[in-house]
Amino acid sequence: MRLGLVTVLFLTACGTGVIRAPEGQSSATSAPEADEPDRIRVRRLMVAWAGAEGAASTIERDREAARERAEMLVGMARDPNQSFRELVAQYGDTPPDRDDRNTVRIVERGETDLDAAGERALFRLDVGQVTRPLETPMGWVIYVRETDPSEAQQGPREIGARHILVSYVGATRAGADVQRTEQEARELAGRIAASAQGDPSRWEQLHEEYSDEPNGPPGGDLGVFPRGQMVPAFERAAFRLDVGQVSDPVESEFGFHVIQRTE
């Protein structure tokens, strides 16, 4: 039986195969990655405060109280058994720009009310993921990314892969012995990826020396798995690899993965 992060990576499916996972922790101010879209479908939940742009006169909470309420709603929204649409209907305030509480909207990069960091966080979402509260002049906004029916699934239905995990302080399930920062983890993962890409025969050695996966399978071998079973960022990268190819570092909430497709 494969243990450790294999179990963690296999997340609970919700609805029609949507996998909910917390938003990643990478920097929101860098340039878009090559695989990040410029146009996505989302639902949004707004929490306004007294005096915010277009806020109803009945809203009495201040900005900090609105932020705390939004943080609570993010926690609820990330529960795979919770309907985001129901949260919007029950707790969302009416947006002054467009009352889209019961609809899916399409947003384009560069045309939102978010600052650069907020927009970066929004467009790096995978389907089913929920943002942290993002500040706008109208209030705190929470987004969930919806499936785009025009995006046809391409490529294999299942693959085999193995990985090396480089964790950091604050990453999900990081061990107590992990002391490196996120930036240090990013740099180390980059060196590991370069080494494995240059000489794939070193994989076992690199895994033994660097992988932070507690109780993980030998060599980080995840076996064969279908689509919809892994954390979205990990799956997206793994399914784009050719057999034998080693990825650049891929960030998930668990840290940075270096992935090699095996089948």
Question: What CATH number should be reported for the domain holding residue 49?
Answer: 3.10.50.40
In the chain, at which residue ranges do the beta strands (DSSP E only) sit?
Answer: 13-14, 18-19, 39-47, 105-108, 134-136, 139-146, 158-166, 221-226, 250-252, 255-261
Q: Tell me whether residue 31 is in a domain.
A: no
- The total number of structural domains that make up the chain: 2
* Number of Cα atoms under 13 Å in the Cβ half of residue 57: 0
The answer on 112 and 42 residing in a single domain is: yes
Q: With respect to residue 41, please indicate whether it lies within any of the assigned structural domains.
A: yes
Assess whether 86 and 104 both reside in one domain: yes
pLDDT at res. 50: 96
Mean pLDDT of 3-12: 44
Of 104, 126, 146, which marks where a domain is finished?
Answer: 146
User: Above 60 in pLDDT, residue 30?
Assistant: no
Residue 113: the pLDDT is 86
Region 153-163 average pLDDT = 83
* 168/105 same-domain check: no
Radius of gyration of the chain (CA): 20
Rounded to 5 degrees, what are φ and ψ at 56?
A: -65, 150
Between 177 and 5, residue with greater pLDDT: 177
Domain end position, chosen among 146, 173, 193: 146
At which of 128, 146, 164 does a domain end?
A: 146
State the pLDDT at residue 150. 56
Buried b (16+ CB within 10 A) or exposed e, 10-30: bbeebeeebbbbebbebebee
Residue 25 lies in a domain: no
128, 162: one domain: no
- Under DSSP, the state recorded for 229 is S
pLDDT of residue 153: 53
Tell me how far apart the alpha carbons of residues 185 and 179 are, in angstroms, rounded to a whole number.
10
Rounded to the nearest integer, the mean pLDDT of the chain is 83
Its domain, for residue 237, covers 156-261
Q: Which two tokens stand for residue 86?
A: 């129901």
194 and 138 within one domain: no
**DSSP readout, 155-183?**
S-SEEEEEEEEE--TTSTT--TT----HH
Confidence of residue 174 (pLDDT cuts 50, 70, 90): confident
Q: Verify that 51 and 130 share a domain, yes or no.
A: yes
* In the predicted structure, residue 20 carries a pLDDT above the cut 60: no
Residue 134 in domain: yes
Q: Which of 1-10, 61-70, 121-130 is modeled with the greatest confidence?
A: 61-70
Residues 138 and 196 in one domain: no
Phi, psi of 145 (to 5 degrees): -85, 135
CA distance 11 to 17: 11
Give yes or no for residue 239 having a pLDDT over 70.
Answer: yes
Judge if 166 and 135 occupy the same domain.
no
Residue 158 CB partners (closer than 8 Å, separation 6+) = 224, 225, 226, 227
pLDDT exceeds cutoff 80 at 70: yes
Mean pLDDT, range 131-139, rounded to an integer: 94
Same domain, residue pair 142 and 41: yes
With 70 as the cut, is the pLDDT of residue 29 above it? no
Closest CA relative to residue 77, chosen from 101, 51, 44? 44
Q: What is the pTM of this model?
A: 0.49
Q: Does residue 131 sit in the same domain as residue 208?
A: no
Q: What is the pLDDT of residue 8?
A: 45
For residue 248, pLDDT beyond 90: yes
Query: Does any domain span residue 166?
Result: yes
Q: Are 138 and 95 in contact (CB under 8 A)?
A: yes
Whether the per-residue pLDDT at 125 is higher than 60: the answer is yes
Q: Is 23 part of any domain?
A: no
- Do 123 and 187 lie in one domain? The reply is no
Query: What per-residue confidence (pLDDT) applies to 26?
Result: 37
Are 129 and 93 in a shared domain?
A: yes
Output the pLDDT for position 4.
Answer: 45
